Structure 1
Amino acid sequence: MRLPYNYKEDAVRNIICVNNLYKLYRIGDSAVRALDGVSFCIREGEFCAIVGTSGSGKSTLLNMLAGLERPTRGEVVISGRHIEKLKEDELVRFRRENVGFIFQSFHLLGTMNALENVALPLTFRGEVRKTRMKKADRMLELVNLGKHKMHMPNQMSGGQQQRVGIARALVADPKIIFADEPTGNLDSHTSEEVMRLMQKIVREQGRTLVMVTHDPHEAEYADRVVHIIDGKIVRIQENRRDSENENK
């Protein structure tokens, strides 16, 4: 099967490619196609938004890209590896070494302060406490929370908690960050701040960020927008990447 966007020639730039991706769920005697032949690529260092309404298949697609669900059929190639072929322990290791996650519900541990929450992924990698805390401190400074590092989650606003979540996603130096409705629990003003922060991180650090959202306005912060309806990509939109767009 031929991958889109001239995958072979552009492999250095494309960090993620999916080809002819299907996901079928059985409901009684019928089958529901959550993904229906999806093919596209995401470039290295790109901010890509996947936009669709509830039930469009966007979250299923994100789970496929992150290796959290296996496709019924098709290919998911990340950094040259077919992750749909990896065993479960290989997938866990792959995510730990290459991927960071930002969640809608923050998922911070209430018994840990901001610094400890950010350092948590490094614990699973076996790094010593001193190194973990130093890296976590640097990430909190990056998201402008240096003065809040000893605060517990219940002492921080929703926006501050999400910034902690972003710092935690970055601390292990992942190649790719997946964000699932990252502003879903925030007010509009705080949502704008979080979106600008994520855009800045992509620009300044060369991260690849893949975000799922139902909000077309938030998708304007992305370099490219994949519109999905009923499990099919209906349009891929290129956004302007200039100083005006970056500073809004």
Structure 2
Amino acid sequence: MENVIEVRNLYKLYRVGDEVVHALDGVSFEIPRGEFCAIVGTSGSGKSTLLNMLAGLEKPTKGKIRIAGHQIEGFSEDRLVAFRREHVGFIFQAFHLLGTMNALENVALPLSFRGIPVRKRLEVADRMLDLVKLSGHKKHLPSQMSGGQQQRVGVARALAVDPEIIFADEPTGNLDSHTSREVMELMRQVVCEQKKTLVMVTHDNGLASYADRVFHISDGKIVKIEGGNEV
């Protein structure tokens, strides 16, 4: 199976006073197309740094990052912005919905950066909200929706750009346990049906069990890789 993510010998070093901190310390792995992968670790383990590297939001000190056929570690900031726009979707812990826009407008927003006409992007947004089972909430503002509904809008927004890869950073961090399970089941279903590659960062081993594979990271190193269990 084709690898959509390949990481080789990745390091990220920070200087804190006289000390050098290894946020990432020689990380290497591959993720095949269509896989749901979870990166699990405690605070300070390096998991968020790794996600930022994969998304081109931080540059490595050393190492190679190949994403969707592009060697991104040497890209300029402008090329990285264009790369993310064309290939990547994001799901955030804090939802990041615009309070003055309804669900339909929030989902359509990323498509405006591609220059897609208003009617076309609203059609796509409409379809994505049906996919995440929010047909009755398309005209609702974020303040009129629950946390779980807002995160479903976040999932729909990530899918609207038809990304090859979706990066999710603690996507259920602001949700209760029942709603977290609903969102995780939705994400797993959508990834399978839409054949997307999803990389999720979490501190919760229970949520990680929804993934096909789980990468355990500690002190900047991947210490264990295991297959996830379908829930």
User: So what's the TM-score if we normalise by structure 2?
Assistant: 0.99
Aligned counterparts of 1:66 and 1:202: Cα–Cα separation in 2? 18
Measured after TM superposition, the shift of residue 119 of structure 1 is 0.2
Q: Aligned residue for 1:54? A: 43
Measured after TM superposition, the shift of residue 26 of structure 1 is 1.2
SS at 1:111 equivalent: coil
Aligned counterparts of 1:228 and 1:40: Cα–Cα separation in 2? 12
Measured after TM superposition, the shift of residue 13 of structure 1 is 1.6
Whichever residue aligns with residue 40 of structure 1, its letter is F
Q: Would you identify which runs of 4 or more consecutive aligned residues in structure 1 move more than 6 Å?
A: none
Q: Decide whether the 8 Å contact of 2:68 with 2:164 is kept in 1.
A: no
* Residue pairs, 1:1-248, within 5 angstroms: 13-240=2-229, 245=230, 248=231
Measured after TM superposition, the shift of residue 80 of structure 1 is 2.2
SS at 1:85 equivalent: coil
Structure 2 gap ranges (5+): none
Cα offsets for 1:63-116 (capped at 9, x unmatched):
000000000000001122210011111110000000000000000000100000
Whichever residue aligns with residue 145 of structure 1, its letter is L
Aligned counterparts of 1:161 and 1:26: Cα–Cα separation in 2? 38
Aligned counterparts of 1:153 and 1:52: Cα–Cα separation in 2? 30
Aligned length: 231
Whichever residue aligns with residue 147 of structure 1, its letter is G
Aligned counterparts of 1:128 and 1:86: Cα–Cα separation in 2? 29
SS at 2:136 equivalent: helix
Structure 1 gap ranges (5+): 1-11
Aligned counterparts of 1:128 and 1:77: Cα–Cα separation in 2? 32
Q: Decide whether the 8 Å contact of 2:9 with 2:26 is kept in 1.
A: yes
- Using the aligned pairs only, state the percent identity: 71
Q: Aligned residue for 1:3? A: none
SS at 1:84 equivalent: coil
Whichever residue aligns with residue 222 of structure 1, its letter is A
Measured after TM superposition, the shift of residue 181 of structure 1 is 0.1
Aligned counterparts of 1:149 and 1:79: Cα–Cα separation in 2? 32
Aligned counterparts of 2:186 and 2:153: Cα–Cα separation in 1? 12
Measured after TM superposition, the shift of residue 171 of structure 1 is 0.1
Aligned counterparts of 1:140 and 1:73: Cα–Cα separation in 2? 40
Whichever residue aligns with residue 152 of structure 2, its letter is R
